[in-house]
Structure 1
């Protein structure tokens, strides 16, 4: 699963697909979480169709539009805060640890936090490397020479 921000083009495409609707309420998010738990924990029939799970998944699917609206709002807020942070702190880059599979951990505005994460957890990760990217606009991750952080 990628943790990269959605591109402006992808955000616009998603907005067009879901149309205008209100964002998911806390109550809806909680109800969806309960449904995920219920699908996971109930007794699944061995040989027949699982009508219970089918109904719950259908119920959840019908409610994804408002969840996507809320996700887009959260993505916009993350972008806004990234810009504010870069402007106020004079920070030009964000550092992280990336694994062979592309997962990114220990995001921070200085290399020290990512270096500490790598030192403590690196042995448990598949081929970890220290990476950085510009904050504004968020650029691609690039390997960091160990003295640069």
Structure 2
């Protein structure tokens, strides 16, 4: 299945999930989901707003934030904070982690199944019930290495 077909399927699955969660599907909400799935860029709310303002001239940044909050509440979006003032948003597809370029800020997803066993280990060692975890890796992306921004 090609990338466009896979994105279309993901969008349809997202719509079904929203309906099953009792969340209304507005044109703006649909467009935000579509943008998150297709861009795969971990955008800020402002970046989403700028990307969609031509299609929805009456939409505000507050509308984007409200929609992202609704999507987060039903488990479709994760809000990522990395110590700066802006949150980035990630459409939840599967458990994955992020590597972030220290030079340009680019963020790339990666998968590593080996971390799944850590939940059981941590629970056994600490007595906690693990509900979530987050891992970030930092480095220099190929583009910055190529342009010698080291």
TM (normalized to structure 2)? 0.28
Name the one with the larger helix percent: 1
Computing the radius of gyration over CA atoms, which structure comes out larger, 1 or 2?
1
Q: Which has the higher contact order (CA 8 A, sep 6+)?
A: 1
Provide TM-score, normalisation by structure 1.
0.28
